[in-house]
């Protein structure tokens, strides 16, 4: 794909995610159901954090494209490294995890992850923008250009660290409020919840590996595969 086309795509994707993140984080207080958006606000939900992550990623990608267009190659090299690290370690595995896990649990029992009371607050199109469109966006990014993945150990350590931070945030919210971020967690014993988090971590690691596999299979260049 031409750099100018990539720049336009990344710019539009950045504007889209910025708009979605802005829309969900600016729901008026009086419209919010009493059982959600309390301590931690929207920032306790992985879906919302992922929207911000995607906006940051596409913003960095657009900046890298612009620097390449104006021939600032030394600066572009540094930004491209940041772009690839963001995509490989976070943007692809997190968006894939959010989309697949959300719709799997939603199909089983939506009250565990997305109470029906939210239907009157969050329109259907916004729900799909947050939980559906993120997956094809992630796949399209792999199709659009190759990304250099870090060494496997480094990538998994970074992904594990970020996962640990979010789990710690969830547990902190429970310790303060006595309420779980997602009603699903209330179904588990402490041991069961530990196992659930471990399985979730294993799943998101598998999405990391799948993204790396796709990147190598599509672009077929050894310098993009480790």
CA dihedral for 132, 149, 216, 147, sign (positive or negative): positive
Q: Once rounded to an integer, what is the mean pLDDT over residues 122-144?
A: 94
**In 70-189, alpha helices (H):** 73-86, 92-109, 124-131, 134-144, 152-177
Burial class (CB within 10 angstroms; exposed 0-12, middle 13-18, buried 19+) of 156: middle
In this predicted structure, what is the pLDDT of residue 225? 57
Q: In the structure, what pLDDT confidence band is assigned to residue 139 with cuts at 50, 70 and 90? A: very high
Residue 223 has pLDDT above 70, yes or no: no
Segment 85-125, tens digit of pLDDT: 999 999 999 999 999 999 999 999 998 888 888 888 889 99
Token pair listed for 165: 């931070």
**Tokens 């896990």 identify what position?**
101
- State the pTM of this model: 0.91
- Helix (H) or strand (E) segment spanning residue 191: helix 190-219
Q: How confident is the model at residue 41 (pLDDT cuts 50, 70, 90)?
A: confident
| DSSP labels, 31-62 | GS-TTSS-TTGGGG-HHHHHHHHHHHHHHHHH
Q: How far apart are CA 78 and CA 82, in angstroms?
A: 7
Return the sign of the alpha-carbon dihedral for residues 10, 13, 19, 23.
Answer: negative
Q: What is the pLDDT of residues 150-188, one digit of tens each?
A: 999 999 999 999 999 999 999 999 999 888 999 899 999
pLDDT at 29 over 60: no
For residue 14, name the pLDDT band (cuts at 50, 70, 90).
very high
Task: Provide the Cα torsion 179, 52, 155, 134; round to 10°.
Answer: 90
Task: Compute the distance between CA of residue 80 and CA of residue 73 in angstroms, rounded to an integer.
Answer: 10
């Amino acid at each position: 794909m031409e750099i100018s086309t990539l720049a336009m795509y990344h710019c539009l994707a950045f504007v889209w995610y910025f708009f979605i993140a802005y829309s969900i984080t600016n729901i008026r207080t009086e419209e919010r159901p009493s059982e959600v958006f309390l301590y931690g606000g929207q920032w306790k939900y992985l879906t919302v954090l992922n929207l911000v992550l995607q906006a940051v990623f596409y913003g960095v990608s657009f900046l890298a494209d612009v620097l390449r267009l104006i021939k600032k190659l030394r600066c572009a090299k540094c930004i491209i490294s940041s772009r690839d690290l963001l995509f490989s370690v976070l943007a692809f595995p997190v968006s894939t995890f959010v989309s697949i896990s959300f719709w799997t649990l939603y199909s089983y029992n939506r009250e565990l992850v997305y109470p029906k009371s939210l239907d009157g607050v969050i329109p259907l199109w916004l729900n799909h923008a947050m939980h559906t469109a993120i997956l094809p966006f992630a796949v399209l990014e792999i199709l659009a250009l190759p990304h250099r993945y870090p060494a496997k150990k480094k990538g998994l350590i970074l992904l594990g660290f970020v996962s640990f931070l979010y789990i710690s945030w969830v547990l902190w919210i429970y310790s303060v409020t006595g309420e779980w971020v997602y009603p699903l967690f209330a179904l588990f014993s402490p041991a069961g919840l530990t196992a659930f988090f471990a399985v979730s971590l294993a799943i998101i690691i598998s999405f990391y590996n799948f993204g790396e596999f796709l990147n190598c299979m599509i672009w077929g260049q050894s310098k993009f595969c480790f």
